[in-house]
Amino acid sequence: MTRTRLIDPKGWIFLAALAAFCLVVPLLNLGVAEGSGLHLPTYLVSLFGKYLAFALLALSLDLVWGYCGILSLGHGAFFGLGGYAMGMYLMRQIGPRGVYGNPVLPDFMVFLNYKELPWYWLGFDHFAFAALMVLAVPGLLAFVFGWLAFRSRVTGVYLSIITQAMTFALMLAFFRNDMGLGGNNGLTDFKDILGFPVQAQGTRVALFVATGIALALGYLVARFMTVSAYGKILIAVRDAEPRTRFLGYRPEHYKTLAFTVSAMMAGVAGALYVPQVGIINPGEFAPTNSIEAVIWVAVGGRGTLVGAALGAVIVNYAKTVLTGAMPDAWLFALGALFVVVTLFMPKGIVGSLIERFGSPRAKAKLPPEPEIAPKLAEEGQG
Amino acid sequence: MSDADLLAPVSATATGRPDDGHAPAQTKRVTDALLYLDDLRVTFDGYRALRGLSLTLDRGEMRAIIGPNGAGKTTMMDCITGKTRPDTGIALFDGVHDLTKLDEPAIADLGIGRKFQKPTVFESHTVADNVLLALKGPRSGLASLFGWRNRVEAERIDALLVKVGLIAHRGRPAADLSHGQKQWLEIGMLLAQDPKLLLVDEPVAGMTDAETAETATLLREIARDHAVIVVEHDMHFVRALQCRVTCLHEGAVLAEGSIDAVSADPRVVEVYLGR
Ligand SMILES: Nc1ncnc2c1ncn2[C@@H]1O[C@H](COP(=O)(O)OP(=O)(O)OP(=O)(O)O)[C@@H](O)[C@H]1O
Ligand SMILES: [Mg+2]
């Protein structure tokens, strides 16, 4: 069988651009003297790192939405959980340097009269354990959630609604002080990561580069999955789920696997985001965050992976610029962007480029329509 | 095992599909027939689509099913493939597998393949990839992520595409095919699946006479080493299949026998042929 190559031309362009970005940014920051006009301030390095973390989140969402038809409106939950796992590690690194100087308890626990560290904080002193949790917690939640939902054949709008409910429920839970995770203030005032000061210029550059590497790896994993026979079956499930069952496939297994891998990627994105922005709070679970991520993917081009990542960067750059200029206009601009893209560029930026310049084979891989609201009629089938 | 045991109605699984789909097969073969349907009853919102349908198919047999619109032909296939659960009745495959207790993938796994009345192929995949996904072999997620399905030789797929006359279209998206070509692609997918029993629902709808004749030849060839059930309205085509014919009417068997006997049956003429 002629296999689709792991890295196609658009993949090479993407990886090359990403590599160049990850070289140039550190160079302009570390290599150019601060007074020089070419110098890139460190806050911008972290801002770009944040964009790359969002790009990884968008990529993870595209894996399930673009290739499997799962319109998750709750991917922010996995992002947030990964972020909290990293945040817990960073809190433990503060040690006795908190305002209260308690050697065991983080400040917020002292403030809330905790006598001892809750059991679920154990282990987070170790980076390896925290890194494992960054993958395991979102992965496990996605596995259980996906397994229950997909086995009951919940699809389309209903599935989207329950993913939204999931992130909303998590937000409410994390807002509570007795969750032991900092309540509405969340986790912040981080000091060190792996022994390096979080605020230091070198650490910030390293975190930026690490995010770039994670994005590249995430892309390769998603690409490996989607060009394999597994990915072809995933696409078949997206387009005609009942039909795959009569061929002997179990769509619920395929979806659960994709959903779980995707959630783990989102978790990694969250974990890289937190040290760069310096805080994680329950606001990350807000339903609007998850919806914004869907818009990034739609703008960039659903079912193209590269497009999702690009969409995240473009929309967030626009957000930075616009919220700086006219803070109140952003939500309207985002809404307008979404409407314009759905009406005039239903395949997104990258999808439209492929349509114009790509091979007919590549075109066939694209979903026929962006199923923002999948047809309810399909529920009846099967 | 006595007839009374055999014919005792299997309780309908009103609670829904089994969890894993791997219900334990009965240990003793209770019939030699490959497919044994007895007194199947299906009701849709009060409408009785199947009203005591009984049919047996021998190993290696080809059977044509005719009957007016709404007779229950497709519903029968739905019951065999796990899409619809009969309210009551027996459906045994290979004498041991209770089809009323299994779900669609489990039944497909037993070796029952199906072509739908409305051709259903994976439109955004190429013709060749449609066949690739149908090829018999491990179907788990991990197997398809790393396993042999990623290393299938093009020749194997091409051989099947030659058989169904679609080799020239192997790289085209299935969405671009004509209605008749999609019918053939679905037959090609059935061949790739290599099931023990093929259920073929209206394969020649939308085909020219020449294409219809070719399809009949192809199905006869397939029937040499597979059991096949073909539903069709086109009587020329049914005649060309040269097999036993069953006429369904109002959810039950009206007549069964050779094509000449069935088409001469006055009841068949009245409800179906004489329209
Ligand atoms: N899912 C369903 N819900 C409600 N009614 C149904 C359903 N499926 C079939 N029916 C009804 O059951 C009856 C039998 O339908 P079926 O599709 O089995 O007929 P058929 O013999 O295949 O007819 P045709 O030749 O038109 O394909 C029809 O009256 C149909 O409207
Ligand atoms: Mg029918």
CATH superfamily, domain B29-104+243-275, is P-loop containing nucleotide triphosphate hydrolases (3.40.50.300)
- What span, in angstroms and rounded, lies between the C-alpha atoms of B200 and A5? 36
Asked whether residue A45 is domain-assigned, the answer is yes
Contact: B81, A246; criterion CB under 8 Å: yes
Report yes or no: A363 at the B interface, CB cutoff 8 Å: yes
Whether residue A287 has pLDDT greater than 80: yes
pLDDT of residue A219: 98
Whether residue B9 has pLDDT greater than 50: no
Domain total in chain A: 1
Contact: B124, A247; criterion CB under 8 Å: no
pLDDT tier for residue B30 given thresholds of 50, 70 and 90: confident
Average pLDDT over residues A143-147: 97
- What span, in angstroms and rounded, lies between the C-alpha atoms of A114 and A178? 10
Contact: B108, A368; criterion CB under 8 Å: no
* Of B45, B50, B55, B69, best ligand 1 pocket probe by most atoms within 8 Å of the beta carbon: B69
The ipTM estimated for the assembled molecules is 0.86
pLDDT of residue A331: 85
pLDDT tier for residue A265 given thresholds of 50, 70 and 90: very high
pLDDT in tens, B213-228: 999 999 999 999 999 9
Whether residue A325 has pLDDT greater than 90: no
- What span, in angstroms and rounded, lies between the C-alpha atoms of B241 and B63? 9
pLDDT in tens, A271-286: 999 999 999 999 999 9
pTM: 0.90
pLDDT of residue B72: 95
Whether residue B4 has pLDDT greater than 80: no
pLDDT of residue B27: 59
pLDDT of residue A374: 38
Q: How far away, in angstroms, is B77 Cα from ligand 1 center?
A: 11
Asked whether residue A254 is domain-assigned, the answer is yes
pLDDT in tens, B68-101: 999 999 999 999 999 999 999 999 999 999 999 9
pLDDT of residue B7: 42
Whether residue A3 has pLDDT greater than 80: no
A152-166, A243-257, A350-364, B91-105: which range is least confident on average? A350-364
Asked whether residue A1 is domain-assigned, the answer is no
Q: In terms of pLDDT, which residue wins out, A342 or A299?
A: A299
Closest ligand to B252 CA?
A: 1
pLDDT of residue A110: 93
pLDDT of residue A126: 96
Asked whether residue A224 is domain-assigned, the answer is yes
Structural domain including A229 reads: 9-381
Contact: A247, B108; criterion CB under 8 Å: yes
- What span, in angstroms and rounded, lies between the C-alpha atoms of A176 and B15? 40
DSSP B119-179: ----TTSBHHHHHHHHSSS--SHHHHHHSGGGS--HHHHHHHHHHTT-GGGTTSBGGGS-H
pLDDT of residue B81: 96
pLDDT of residue A53: 98
Asked whether residue A62 is domain-assigned, the answer is yes
Interface of A with B in 244-263 (CB under 8 A): 244-250, 253-254, 257
Average pLDDT over residues A23-34: 94
Asked whether residue A39 is domain-assigned, the answer is yes
* Of B37, B74, B85, best ligand 1 pocket probe by most atoms within 8 Å of the beta carbon: B74
Contact: A247, B171; criterion CB under 8 Å: no
Whether residue A365 has pLDDT greater than 90: no
Q: How far away, in angstroms, is B47 Cα from ligand 1 center?
A: 10
Report yes or no: B135 at the A interface, CB cutoff 8 Å: no
Average pLDDT over residues A142-153: 96
Residues of B with Cβ-Cβ distance to A250 under 8 angstroms: 21, 105, 139
pLDDT of residue A117: 93
Whether residue B161 has pLDDT greater than 90: yes
DSSP chain B: --HHHHHSPPPP-TT-S-SSS-PPPPSS---SSSEEEEEEEEEETTEEEEEEEEEEE-TT-EEEEE--TTSSHHHHHHHHTTSS--SEEEEEETTTEEGGGS-HHHHHHHTEEEE-SS----TTSBHHHHHHHHSSS--SHHHHHHSGGGS--HHHHHHHHHHTT-GGGTTSBGGGS-HHHHHHHHHHHHHHH--SEEEEESTTTT--HHHHHHHHHHHHHHHTSSEEEEE-S-HHHHHHH-SEEEEEETTEEEEEE-HHHHHH-HHHIIIIIT-
Number of A to B CB contacts under 8 A, please give it: 103
Asked whether residue A291 is domain-assigned, the answer is yes
Look at phi and psi of residue B111 and say left if phi exceeds 0, alpha if psi is from -120 to 50, else beta: left
Residues of B with Cβ-Cβ distance to A225 under 8 angstroms: 145
Asked whether residue A48 is domain-assigned, the answer is yes
Helix (H, G, I), strand (E, B) or coil at A187: strand
pLDDT of residue B22: 52
pLDDT of residue B2: 43
pLDDT of residue A37: 86
pLDDT of residue A180: 93
Second CATH level (architecture) for the domain B111-228: 3-Layer(aba) Sandwich (3.40)
B70 CB less than 6 Å from ligand 1?
Answer: yes
pLDDT of residue B206: 82
pLDDT tier for residue A267 given thresholds of 50, 70 and 90: very high
pLDDT in tens, A351-362: 888 888 875 554
Listed in order, the ranges of chain B carrying CATH 3.40.50.300 are 29-104+243-275, 111-228
Chain A CA closest to residue B82: A246
Whether residue B245 has pLDDT greater than 50: yes
Distance from CA of A302 to the nearest CA of B (A): 14
Best of B104, B112, B152, B189 to mutate (most A CBs within 10 Å, chain A): B104
Best of A143, A247, A255, A378 to mutate (most B CBs within 10 Å, chain B): A247
pLDDT of residue B1: 40
Average pLDDT over residues A194-219: 97
Averaged pLDDT score across all residues of chain B: 89
Contact: A382, B83; criterion CB under 8 Å: yes
pLDDT of residue B19: 44
Distance from CA of B109 to the nearest CA of A (A): 6
Distance from CA of B274 to the nearest CA of A (A): 34
* Nearest one of B76, B32, B101, B92 to B199, comparing CA atoms: B76
pLDDT of residue A36: 87
Chain A CA closest to residue B105: A248
Percent of chain A at pLDDT above 70?
93
* Nearest one of B247, B239, B240, B243 to B266, comparing CA atoms: B247
pLDDT in tens, B175-210: 999 998 999 999 999 999 999 999 999 999 888 899
